[in-house]
């Protein structure tokens, strides 16, 4: 047993192993959506840009957040996490390294590259390597920061960057990578002069990150568009920021409700983050719309098949591809799903077929044909979003299912069994035998995804 971490308020727990689901219960009611994983992780990494105490609220208590706490502590920050409030103190000299053990567990650990390079002039980040959804390079990060004056070399599985001075430049990203946009954006806040990122990622978490940086004293404009401009400043000061609600959790819960032909309100969710996704749901015959408190969804009949292709924001989010396929398995007609963002993000398909789905893979496409119903079965989560797809399928299936390797799902969903139960689902979680602190390394035989 490892020594207790300095993090206060973290829970002792076991990684969840299996979720048993008795399918066929219609989900209804209202449920609160937690803070966004992908915003919280970036804000935590960006807090390293300022000496002093950053306070983040509405932070989800999920395994990835605990991994990022480890990364921050590894570099020398002090972190406290009580309920949903996180305080990060990054005063003093930091150690500029994101070790392999943490980067291989969670690729977003590499988001410390930009902040550490800007603040320390040096950073060593383990190469992420492959994961269960594709090879996922870091070349765009390296090229862009290289243009700003950083020099990189590879050293035994690590990318090591040195930048005594970073200078603002016009960076044209070959692809609107979120991670590369974020690392350039954070590094540019302390660079000399003006940086312009063209073909920048436009996701809501980029907007959150820019707003947070501006509250720290940065001068960022254009976030949320393809062109972001950053005027470098001398230093940043800590800020307090509320993490907005998680669009991917909102979309996943919506699909769980719709797959069971239910009706629910997703409290705190922002419909404007999910326009294309919401439009596709409407095309299937579902009701989807903003309410005063969040998003309302309902579905009374068998959905109609729709085609969709994943794309960077504002396109259909790749993180909702697996949950959407699960929903479409019993839709009337044939759906053609094209995965454009990751090269091998279809591990859930073979598991869905075990539940009676008719889904065939043809390269980057999945062809989903109607089956009258899914049947409960034991299945295995291979990655975070694929695992949630299986849960959605199991909720709508006839009879009992077991979704195994739930530690993947715990990476990104806070209290999912409790949330599903509050909507009327019959689910029961079991936990592994090894007692661990949630913020200490978990044993995993496979490396995972976003």
Active site residues per annotation: 131
Which candidate, 71, 63, 66, 64, places its Cα nearest to that of 46? 71
The angle subtended at Cα 293 by Cα 80 and Cα 414, nearest 5°, is 35
Quote the least distance from Cβ 247 to ligand UD1, whole Å.
11
Quote the least distance from Cβ 23 to ligand UD1, whole Å.
27
Which candidate, 56, 60, 36, 33, places its Cα nearest to that of 44? 56
Quote the least distance from Cβ 133 to ligand UD1, whole Å.
8
Nearer to ligand UD1, 140 or 207 (CB): 140
Quote the least distance from Cβ 108 to ligand UD1, whole Å.
4
Nearer to ligand UD1, 42 or 261 (CB): 42
Nearer to ligand UD1, 138 or 391 (CB): 138
- Give the containing element (helix H, strand E) for 56: strand 53-57
Nearer to ligand UD1, 140 or 223 (CB): 140
292: exposed, middle or buried (Cβ count in 10 Å: 0-12, 13-18, 19+):
exposed
What is the distance of C-alpha 304 from the center of its chain? 28
Distance CA 133, CA 441 (A): 21
Quote the least distance from Cβ 174 to ligand UD1, whole Å.
8
- Give the containing element (helix H, strand E) for 404: strand 400-404
Quote the least distance from Cβ 412 to ligand UD1, whole Å.
8
Residues in Cβ contact with 295 at an 8 Å cutoff, skipping those fewer than 6 apart: 250, 254, 265, 266, 269, 270, 271, 274, 278, 288, 289
Q: Helices (H), strands (E): how many in the chain?
A: 14, 26
Nearer to ligand UD1, 261 or 407 (CB): 407
Nearer to ligand UD1, 261 or 270 (CB): 270
Quote the least distance from Cβ 214 to ligand UD1, whole Å.
20
Quote the least distance from Cβ 185 to ligand UD1, whole Å.
12
Quote the least distance from Cβ 152 to ligand UD1, whole Å.
12
Q: How many CB atoms lie within 10 A of CB 76?
A: 16
Q: Where are the beta strands (DSSP E) in 117-210?
A: 122-126, 151-155, 158-162, 170-172, 194-198
Nearer to ligand UD1, 45 or 331 (CB): 45
Contacts for 301-304 with beta carbons within 8 Å, 24 or more apart?
Answer: 301/261, 302/330, 302/331, 302/332, 303/258, 303/327, 303/328, 303/330, 303/331, 303/332, 304/331, 304/332, 304/333
Distance CA 197, CA 245 (A): 26
Q: Are strands 294-298 and 365-369 parallel, antiparallel or unpaired?
A: unpaired
By beta carbon distance, the residue nearest ligand UD1 is 450
Residue with tokens 């509250």: 215
Interacting residues with ligand UD1 (CB under 6 A): 38, 41, 107-108, 134, 136-141, 175, 177-180, 318-319, 341-342, 450
Nearer to ligand UD1, 23 or 312 (CB): 312
Residue with tokens 């806070």: 414
- Enumerate the β-bridge partners of residue 20: 402, 428
Residue 189 corresponds to which tokens in the numbers above?
A: 């806040």
Nearer to ligand UD1, 175 or 289 (CB): 175
């Amino acid at each position: 047993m490892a020594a207790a971490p300095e993090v206060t308020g973290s829970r002792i727990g076991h990684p969840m192993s299996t979720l048993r689901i008795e399918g066929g219960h219609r989900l209804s009611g209202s449920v609160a959506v937690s803070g966004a994983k992908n915003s919280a992780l970036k804000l935590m990494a960006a807090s390293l840009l300022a000496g002093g105490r950053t306070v983040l609220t509405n932070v989800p208590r999920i395994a990835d957040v605990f991994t990022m706490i480890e990364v921050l502590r590894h570099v020398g920050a002090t972190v406290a996490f009580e309920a949903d409030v996180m305080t990060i103190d990054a005063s003093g000299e930091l150690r500029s390294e994101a070790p392999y053990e943490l980067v291989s567990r969670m690729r977003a650990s590499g988001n410390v590259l930009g902040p550490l390079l800007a603040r320390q002039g040096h950073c060593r980040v383990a190469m992420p390597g492959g994961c269960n959804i594709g090879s996922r390079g870091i070349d765009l990060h390296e090229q862009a920061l290289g243009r700003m004056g950083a020099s990189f070399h590879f050293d035994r599985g690590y990318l090591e960057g040195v930048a005594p001075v970073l200078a603002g430049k016009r960076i044209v990203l070959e692809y609107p990578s979120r991670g590369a946009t974020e690392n350039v954006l954070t590094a540019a806040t302390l660079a000399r002069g003006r940086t312009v990122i063209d073909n920048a990622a436009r996701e809501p978490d980029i907007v959150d990150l820019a707003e947070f940086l501006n509250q720290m004293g940065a001068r960022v404009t254009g976030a949320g568009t393809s062109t972001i401009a950053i005027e470098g400043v001398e230093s940043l000061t800590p800020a307090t920021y509320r993490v907005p609600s998680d669009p991917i959790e909102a979309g996943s819960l919506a699909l769980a409700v719709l797959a069971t032909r239910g009706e629910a309100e997703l409290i705190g969710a922002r419909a404007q983050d999910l326009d294309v996704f919401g439009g596709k749901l409407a095309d299937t015959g579902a009701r989807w719309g903003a309410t005063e408190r969040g998003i309302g969804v309902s579905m009374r009949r068998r959905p109609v098949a729709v085609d969709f292709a994943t794309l960077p924001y504002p396109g259909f989010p790749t993180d909702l591809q697996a949950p959407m396929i699960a929903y479409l398995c019993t839709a009337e007609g044939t759906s053609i799903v094209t995965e454009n963002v990751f090269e091998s993000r279809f591990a859930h398909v073979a598991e869905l077929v075990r539940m009676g789905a008719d889904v065939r893979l043809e390269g980057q496409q999945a062809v989903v044909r109607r089956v009258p119903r899914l049947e409960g079965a034991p299945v295995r989560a291979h990655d975070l979003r694929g695992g949630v797809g299986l849960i959605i399928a199991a909720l709508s299936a006839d009879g009992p299912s077991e979704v195994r390797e739930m530690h993947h799902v715990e990476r990104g969903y806070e209290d999912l069994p409790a949330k599903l139960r509050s909507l009327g689902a019959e689910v029961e979680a079991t936990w592994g035998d090894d007692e661990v602190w949630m913020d200490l390394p978990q044993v995993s035989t496979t490396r995972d995804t976003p």
